[in-house]
Amino acid sequence: MSLSEELQTLKDFHCENRCVLSVYLNTNPADPDQQKGAWKIQLKSGFKRLEEYLAAADDKAETEAFKKAKDRVVKEIEDNRNDLKKGVVIFASADPELFSVYYVQIPIETNFYWEDHPVIDELHNMLSAYPNSGIVMPSFGNVRFLDTAMGYVGDDFTYTFDSGLDVWREQKGLNPSGSRGTGGSHVDDLDDRLKENLERFYKSLAGDISKMKKERHWDEVHIIGEAEYAQAFAAAMQKKPDSIQHKNLNNSGADKVLHEVFGK
């Protein structure tokens, strides 16, 4: 299920009384306000405010429903406390049952909600800013792919170009006349063959983009690479990409690539 589909499922979720705990927790270690694990204090404070509100309402059934949802949220965060990235978003309900967790790599504000439905506005805004996307980075030696959504890279994989250079090097030295020759015809021929083979490699991968897009639920496809390779790959695609940037980031970290593509 894609994130867009998950959002729709959350949007459709309702209960007769308040039963859904929505938690947006800023755990960004680079945030000055998050030094020394400040998120732990914010987590306790957020729950305390809701508990005080429920105590004033004096509804035992609602208080018990909140406690079950809270306990599950606390366990999830404690079990993953060493891999919280920049933020975590959780929607939890005991009856009817709901538990959705999103670890994100983009800054979020800490907020807590106890309602009869998941509060998804902030999550929706995150997905609008960082949609489900495939980022394609073609170069001469390989094509790197990032599978990403909401600033989080779910997969980072590379297809390598098998140029067959060893065979071509042997052919390059052949000369029926026995002389070395005076022109650059062998080099030109090698370059032409390399170019043709690279174009076939791109065309083969580009033909799989539609399948990848469907299987990985990509809403967008972006290409970033040196001009020659980026344009060649885009030309091989059946459908025009959502953006093309001329910059070689194949050896760069995922965060830098996302920043260049989405400008955030």
pLDDT at residue number 97: 96
Q: Which residue has the higher pLDDT, 194 or 58?
A: 58
Q: What is the rounded distance in angstroms from the CA atom of residue 247 to the CA atom of residue 138?
A: 10
4 contacts 27 by C-beta, under 8 angstroms: no
Confidence of residue 188 (pLDDT cuts 50, 70, 90): low
| Minimum mean pLDDT range among 18-22, 186-190, 255-259 | 186-190
pLDDT at residue number 178: 40
Q: Which residue has the higher pLDDT, 172 or 98?
A: 98
User: pLDDT tens for residues 43-68?
Assistant: 999 999 999 999 998 999 999 999 99
Among 12, 23, 11, 15, residue whose Cα is nearest residue 72? 23
Among 6, 21, 5, residue whose Cα is nearest residue 118? 21
pLDDT at residue number 21: 98
Mean pLDDT of the chain: 86
Q: Which CATH number fits domain 3-129: 3.30.960.10, 3.40.640.10, 3.20.20.80, 3.40.50.1820?
A: 3.30.960.10
Strand-strand pairing, 220-225 and 133-138: parallel
H-type alpha helices, 13-111: 38-57, 60-79
CATH topology of domain 133-262: Nucleotidyltransferase; domain 5 (3.30.420)
Strand-strand pairing, 220-225 and 142-149: unpaired
Beta strands of the chain (E only): which ranges? 20-26, 87-93, 98-104, 111-115, 133-138, 142-149, 152-160, 220-225, 243-246
Query: Which amino acid does the sequence have at 63?
Result: T
pLDDT at residue number 177: 38
pLDDT at residue number 189: 53
User: pLDDT tens for residues 157-184?
Assistant: 999 887 654 433 333 333 333 433 444 4
The domain spans of the chain are 3-129, 133-262
Query: Which amino acid does the sequence have at 96?
Result: P
pLDDT at residue number 164: 59
Indicate if 133-262 has the same CATH topology as 3-129: no
Whole-model pTM: value is 0.75
